Amino acid sequence: MILEIVKYPDPFLKSEAVKVDSVDDSVRKLIDDMVETMYYARGIGLASLQVRDPRRVVVLDVPDEDEKEREKGKNLMALVNPEIVYSEGETIYEEGCLSLPGVTADVERAAKVRVKALDRDGKQIEIEAEGLLAIALQHELDHLNGILFIDRLSRLKRELVKRKYKKSLETEERAI
Ligand code: GNR
Ligand code: NI
């Protein structure tokens, strides 16, 4: 089932997602719906708060750098209760977000991360990532703590991006 994506400035995006007690069928249903919604929206990742669900779940399918056409499902992962256990280095990447369509900005993050989580069977897993996957993991884990990529910008930059976003919403309304 395709779910509606919550858009900024909806206050739900600022809430803190809650830990999942056990990975049961209802969590697997949420994962499946989030995967379907992520592909429908052409995102590389999606966090539960973006579909108005408070449970700590993220899904990702980040294409390989040498991948020309996106191969659906190739790098698909679902993470329950994900936590960053180690990070190193710095990198800057131009990020976007399905909850703030139409705007992007350069965001500074760790270059490498190790993430601990549960998979869809409730099994403990650990992922080591660099490149775009490391960036997307940090972007999605931020969402679970109510943090958007614009919150990682300087105040001036953030105000500029917010103004641009609000302007694009207004023109979108006028076009209808
Ligand atoms: O689809 C997405 N692309 C993206 C590009 C650069 C950095 C992060 C992302 S995540 C985003 C999907 C999304 O909003 N996930 O929360
Ligand atoms: Ni996002």
Q: What is the pLDDT of residues 114-162, one digit of tens each?
A: 999 999 999 999 999 999 999 999 999 999 999 999 999 999 999 999 9
pLDDT, residue 175, reads 67
For 90-120, write each residue's pLDDT tens digit.
999 999 999 999 999 999 999 999 999 999 9
**Residue 95 near ligand 1, beta carbon < 6 Å:** yes
Give 139 Cα–ligand 2 centroid separation in angstroms.
6
pTM value surpassing 0.75: yes
Ligand nearest to the CA of 132: 1
Residue 67 pLDDT more than 90? no
Q: Which amino acid is at 107?
A: V
Ligand 1 atom closest to 42 (CA): 1
**Residue 3 near ligand 1, beta carbon < 6 Å:** no
Number of H helices, E strands in the chain: 3, 7
Q: What is the DSSP letter of 38?
A: H
- Tell me the pLDDT of the chain averaged across its residues: 96
Query: 141 with 110: CB under 8 angstroms?
Result: no
For 11-175, the fitting CATH number among 3.40.50.300, 3.90.45.10, 3.30.450.20, 1.10.540.10 is 3.90.45.10
**Residue 98 near ligand 1, beta carbon < 6 Å:** yes
Domain ranges (residues) in the chain: 11-175
Residue 69 pLDDT more than 80? no
Active-site option among 36, 69, 140, 159: 140
- For residue 9, CA distances in Å to 28, 127, 147, 174 come to 28, 31, 12, 19
